[in-house]
Structure 1
């Protein structure tokens, strides 16, 4: 009997939508299932009272996002719709913000690093990535001046990725830095970080509000149980964080299961602060983001000044901030009542943004139990074998496939999955009798 569906894509984040779009262009019939009532996943944006709130991802870059830009151009989106973030990143140290993080001048000005640490930063930039191996961030930091770990690697990986220094491998982070380049090339979507996801979804068959509860691999097909019923599909593509994919795939082959189990995720927690006026951390240069080292603050990992990122994020004359919870504070706050969570983070932020409490109109949390790939040494070791596995009726896409915590990795993984799915179909057709 023929399956009900050709390809079923589970998850309408950027990986799932890119995969569905690519397969549809190749003549395949694709249906996308999404548990939430909207598309975008961890790139979703929310519109509230004239504010445009990015709930997850914040930016892309001129460099290192080749497939993202290819897809944007294909859909008719030009660079005007993805403007540059014209302000920089600062580091909090000794009671004040230091500008220049991820900027070429940071090597000279320090960006919070001591003079001796700046010399080590030059050494790290020259040879560090080649010598990283499977070292954790903490192990790698021990090779350099203490400031490199405390006032650079920890706050950047902790603030942006939620990483714990003794668990995550440093090599993928260093590769990502090399690929995307300095903050002078960073951009954001003018109409929200969900711009690309929304455009893709308009051309696809997407069923939102429909969770997939289980997937069972079969011989040449797979069965999926959803809120809308049970279906069979020639291929099911799980475009979810690895822990979620592992939870619903009931019978993955051993070669897949070990990698799925190793691909843990860090939770991420953000609070959006809608302000009646534009406020931000005091600094000699205007900031888009202030990073807060764990050695300085155990509650907050960073503050994003959204109205500085792009003026359209807040109504004229108003402001929008995003507070990033520190990695070690997240476990106690992830399931906390909304009032307790927002109160804890806004109270902590008053130290860096004086007047925040009086300017605050409302605060709203965004909780991601599976925020970003944790990228452990164990996952790095198992990744090559996972990529060598033969194609099957259940495939995967997501940032964890490439162990790189950014949206470009999700898009690249979708293109890889599309090639594998097409190969699976070719093999199946060859086996069928004439």
Structure 2
């Protein structure tokens, strides 16, 4: 691995991409400590610490993790790239039900650019709405005393909206000139940046040697499990019949359809968290202690409903991302067939059966990962639950895998060994 890292800096293009990515992340981390103009930091710190400890504080903790601690500082980056994530999810759901958007997604590069344009416009709209709502509902009571309220609302909303759109631009720049998906890299940096804080809290709490051993065991097993699930796929063999066109013969070769065990990635967990945070937020701001106890992080009702929602959204998103009818039609159109399965409806039924089986395994795995923070918090301690499992660790592992795969592609293309040994390669430039 260390040899592959050294080789990465020997390739000028890859070296410049890595350096550019780190510089953009440095800008992101610097902005985390620039507060919204007019905010009383002492008042906000007292409020944030209190609400994070409450039953409805899961929403603030999750958003703060995505923002890399920017929300706890009430920074201009407090909303992070959540408006962009929301816009992307909305458009993906719309593409499943709006035929024109679905056709646009199939038009190649031109269609992709149009969808990106729609995503940016929707992101700007959502960022404006979320910035105004966050300022009026949450931030305004903690403005500097004596400051004009209207002026503070305008200034704070514009700052939060501009910060979110600036982060989106940084993400796009990383995608074009850096390494990996820029938006995912920003979320990854935010999530990982909160780990030292929670580790420090665990150290202060004087855990026993047994608790530390259990924590590291859960941590390591979770990482290997996530890699196995994210990389796992079922390959359906497709054979193409031979056909003669003019003097040339086409087809006759075999290929495969990769069916991911985890089609939806982290989105089913995000959907479930977003739904469950609504009653938690209502309970927190209305001081309804009954609701707070019902939707508490470790309550039985919360855990059961959370698991059921994750399970449901895994199936829901798999059905959206892998359309067995379209795949079956494409196989038939290009003269292909699955060995032992007739083209058409039998192929569609077979694919639906296989998808249902592997999605069931993926859903069970996602439920376990989603509940790992609760399990770890019960076994080890409350702060360990912020590090092990859940949305944050899935994003961290997924982004790390994506970056490693892109770097390895650059290395192998230039005759260097990648991160995985495949035997000695001849010739180096």
State whether TM-score is above 0.5: no
Q: Identify the structure with the greater helix proportion.
A: 2
TM-score, normalised to structure 1's length? 0.24
By relative contact order (CA 8 Å, sep 6+), the higher-ranking structure is 1
TM-score, normalised to structure 2's length? 0.24
